[in-house]
């Protein structure tokens, strides 16, 4: 049914725990993000019909391994990812929805980051994450009669792959009593 590259923005937060042994830093983290990643393309089976996909939220559950020197931390991370997906097939001319659906999809995540401690208990960092969400076949049916096509007729199957690349800027606060400097 075609392909598209979804674009958009995200905002969220994370909570985690890090511990440090000499210059080595180890951590666990849970991250949740609201997202607005959306893309659409022309349906290859029906003229005038658009396919649309949207990720409305995602989360990461990861472990981290890093190296710290002074107030700088370089780390890699990996673990599980989850995303809230919505799909829609619609008539381009009228905007009338033909069919829609949603699902929660699980996959894997890897990432890397660089963090800089700029004040007591505060750090700022940049991070890149790649989410491996796999491919799924999603069936769509006409829920409205358009162009003489009866309600309930199969609109087609879309093979939807959702690997996601995310660049983040992070601001972190560390509570006292933590085992790690980061």
List domains and CATH numbers for the chain. 7-173 (2.40.160)
Nearest CA to 111 out of 72, 82, 79, 84 is that of 79
Q: pLDDT, tens digit, for every residue of 21-46?
A: 999 999 999 999 999 998 887 877 77
pLDDT band at residue 180 using 50, 70 and 90 as cut-offs:
low
pLDDT above 60 for 178:
no
Query: Strand, coil or helix: what is 19?
Result: strand
Question: pLDDT exceeding 70 applies to what percent of the chain?
Answer: 86
Query: Which pLDDT score, from 0 to 100, does residue 1 have?
Result: 45
The pTM of this model reads 0.82
CA 110 – CA 128 distance, rounded (Å): 9
Query: Which pLDDT score, from 0 to 100, does residue 138 have?
Result: 76
Write out the DSSP string of 50-90: EEEEEEEEEEEEEEEEEEEETTEEEEEEEEEEEEEEEEEEE
Query: Which pLDDT score, from 0 to 100, does residue 132 have?
Result: 95
Residue 65: both structure tokens together: 């391994």
Q: What is the mean pLDDT of the chain?
A: 86
Residues 78, 30: contact at Cβ < 8 Å? Answer: no
pLDDT above 70 for 3:
no
Query: Which pLDDT score, from 0 to 100, does residue 149 have?
Result: 62
Q: What is the CA radius of gyration of the chain?
A: 21
Q: pLDDT, tens digit, for every residue of 112-171?
A: 999 999 998 899 999 999 999 988 777 777 666 556 666 666 666 777 778 899 999 999
pLDDT above 70 for 72:
yes
């Amino acid at each position: 049914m075609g392909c598209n590259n979804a674009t958009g923005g995200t905002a969220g937060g994370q909570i985690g725990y890090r511990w440090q042994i000499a210059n080595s830093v180890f951590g666990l983290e849970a991250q949740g993000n609201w997202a607005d990643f959306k893309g659409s393309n022309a349906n290859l089976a029906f003229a005038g019909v658009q396919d649309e996909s949207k990720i409305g939220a995602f989360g990461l559950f990861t472990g981290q391994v890093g190296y710290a020197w002074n107030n700088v931390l370089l780390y890699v991370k990996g673990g599980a990812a989850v995303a809230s997906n919505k799909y829609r097939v619609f008539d381009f001319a009228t905007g009338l929805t033909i069919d829609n659906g949603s699902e929660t999809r699980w996959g894997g995540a890897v990432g890397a980051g660089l963090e800089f401690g700029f004040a007591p208990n505060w750090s700022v960092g940049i991070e890149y994450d790649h989410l491996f969400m796999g491919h799924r076949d999603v069936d769509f049916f006409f829920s409205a009669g358009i162009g003489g096509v009866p309600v309930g007729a199969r609109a087609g199957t879309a093979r939807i792959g959702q690997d996601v690349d995310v660049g983040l800027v992070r601001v972190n606060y560390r509570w006292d009593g933590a085992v790690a400097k980061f």
